[in-house]
Amino acid sequence: MDTKTKILNAAENLFADKGFTGTSLREITSAAEVNLAAVNYHFGSKKELIKALMKRYLDVLSPELEGALLRVMEKNDDLSLDQVFEAFVEPLLTLNTLKEQGTSNFLQLLGHSYTDSQGFLRWFITTNYPGIIDNFVLAVHKAYPQLSSEDMFWRLHFTMGTAVFAMSSTSALIDIAQNDFDSEVDIEGVIRRLIPYVASGVGAKSH
């Protein structure tokens, strides 16, 4: 395996677990068994390494997700919000074919990208992959046409917050949950618990 890939893999695992600011290049290069200077040689900087990491997943996820949302809109005449959110599951799980724990790693990275580093990654994602949000809004509107655009605005942000927060603290929560309920929990389990929650939240009756 070449150095670049070794770095990407080691960085992904560490970043997902401990966040971007919480992981040093020395930890990464040590885990990858490469020289410290290799990161700056191959990627330019820590920021560029992070971008490359996200790009590896987003380039796969983005078209899959847009397709899945379009398909679920075409097929179902009376679309439910649960179906809209279900459309996320399969594209997300295909990320496991890219790398072991790919889905979990990506979602945790996404979570960290919203809370770490003054959100420079949020900007990177929303400007480079706008199709995801656009299709998502369309699908929600089709499933719940009565929802005012103002409620739509707020609830989409609430949903994003719920998902992102859940993902960035998933490893800690899974530990607690396994101690308290000694039940096996994985990332897919969390996703499937998330769906009824956010679908119900978005579908709430307006007051």
Q: Residue 55 is inside which H or E element, if any?
A: helix 46-75
Our finding on whether 92 is near its own copies (CB under 8 A) is no
Chain positions 41 to 80 lying near DNA, rule: CB under 7 A, are 41-42, 45-47
Buried b (16+ CB within 10 A) or exposed e, 102-129: bbbbbbbbbbbbbbbbeeebbebbeeeb
Our finding on whether 107 is near its own copies (CB under 8 A) is no
Contacting residue, 158, 184, 187, 188, with its own copies by CB under 8 A: 158
Chain positions 19 to 48 lying near its own copies, rule: CB under 8 A, are 19, 21-22
Size, binding site for DNA by CB under 7 A = 19
Nearest alpha-carbon partner for 88 in 1, 206, 199: 199
Q: Which of DNA, its own copies, none has residue 71 at its interface (CB below 5 to 8 Å by kind)?
A: none
Q: To which residue do tokens 């960085």 refer?
A: 11
Interacting stretch for its own copies, rule CB under 8 A, among 1-9, 66-74, 128-136, 199-207?
199-207
Our finding on whether 39 is near DNA (CB under 7 A) is yes
Q: Is 107 left (phi over 0), alpha (psi -120 to 50) or beta?
A: alpha
Q: Which of DNA, its own copies, none has residue 198 at its interface (CB below 5 to 8 Å by kind)?
A: its own copies
CB atoms within 10 A of CB 204: 11
The amino acid that residue 124 corresponds to is F
Our finding on whether 126 is near DNA (CB under 7 A) is no
Nearest alpha-carbon partner for 16 in 157, 118, 84, 110: 110
Smallest gap from residue 200 Cβ to its own copies (A) = 4
Are 192 and 89 in contact by the 8 Å Cβ rule? The answer is yes
Question: Which residues bind to DNA, rule: CB under 7 A?
Answer: 2-3, 23-27, 34-42, 45-47
Question: Which residues bind to its own copies, rule: CB under 8 A?
Answer: 18-19, 21-22, 111, 114-115, 118-119, 122, 149-151, 153-155, 157-158, 160-162, 164-166, 168-169, 172-173, 176-177, 180-181, 183, 190, 192-207
